[in-house]
Amino acid sequence: MSKLVWLMAGALAAQDPRQLVEEARKRSRSESQRYEGTLRVVDGKNRISEKRWRFDRTGSFGESKSVLRFTAPAEVKGVALLIHNRKDRSSDQWMWTPALQRDRRIALQDRSTRFFGTDFSFEDLEERDAAQFDYKLAGEETLDGQACWKLESKPRVGKSSQYTHSHLWIRKDIYGFVRVDAFKGAALARRIHYRDFENVKGIWTARTLEVIDEARKSRTVLTLDKLDYNLPMKDSEFTLQALRGGS
């Protein structure tokens, strides 16, 4: 082994991958978050559709609650998803469909399906607590002109996931997640790319997310508008009763 390679290997070994993820989580921590999002969905035949939703979240990583609710177009307006994230297991999720006037619990076996015509799966919309995964440092790369750590994550035993493993890129300067490549075996299943970072109340946040479904050859670009943190929110806003009443 050459001296240069030995020094590079030593530098990588000095970085604890779990600490990198936990530091990234720490820097993005807030008591609440709210934004309005525009979703531009491009299918495999380059047909384009647009949707809008509003997202509210309260609580800290692993124990947060969130609601996202479509606001446009008319045919999806009011459709909503309630997520209760858990530290020790997969999240609890319920979807409300105004046209049917009913909610349904999203079963674990259905978490790999697309959420209402977007390229997000139900699992992609849950908050993933770092303690539910094992991490390995895979190297250092440059993405979008920024130096990044590349990590590999695998769900721990007992963690239900459609993905066997994922590759994560974290920017060194702001500890922001730049890209997540999620795999099913050797095949890339879904890629999430985070762009247009902005400092909002001391939290570096990607204002644009692009989700690519490799099997469908489709993609969804989510743009965050009216983004804010640490707004007053009540637990009563994140219940099944509130989910039904918000349409």
What are 72-111's pLDDT values in tens digits?
Answer: 999 999 999 999 998 878 899 999 999 999 999 999 899 9
Say which residue, 240 or 7, is predicted with more confidence: 240
All structural domains of the chain: 17-245 (2.50.20.10)
At residue 237, does pLDDT exceed 90? Answer: yes
Cα–Cα distance measured from residue 198 to residue 202, given in angstroms and rounded to the nearest whole number? 9
Asked if 67 contacts 82 with a C-beta cutoff of 8 angstroms, the reply is yes
At residue 42, does pLDDT exceed 90? Answer: yes
Asked if 197 contacts 206 with a C-beta cutoff of 8 angstroms, the reply is yes
High-pLDDT (> 70) share of the chain, %: 94
Residue 12 confidence (pLDDT)? 44
What are 119-134's pLDDT values in tens digits?
Answer: 999 999 998 778 889 9
Cα–Cα distance measured from residue 202 to residue 46, given in angstroms and rounded to the nearest whole number? 37
Q: Taking the model in full, what pTM does it have?
A: 0.89
CA distance to 84, 190, 191, 218, per residue, from 49 (Å): 29, 20, 20, 12
> Please, what is the Cα angle at 194 between 197 and 231, to 5 degrees?
60
Residue 131 confidence (pLDDT)? 84
Residue 50 confidence (pLDDT)? 97
Residue 127 confidence (pLDDT)? 86
Residue 217 confidence (pLDDT)? 95
What are 52-71's pLDDT values in tens digits?
Answer: 999 999 997 778 999 999 99
* Spacing of C-alpha 3 from chain mean position: 39
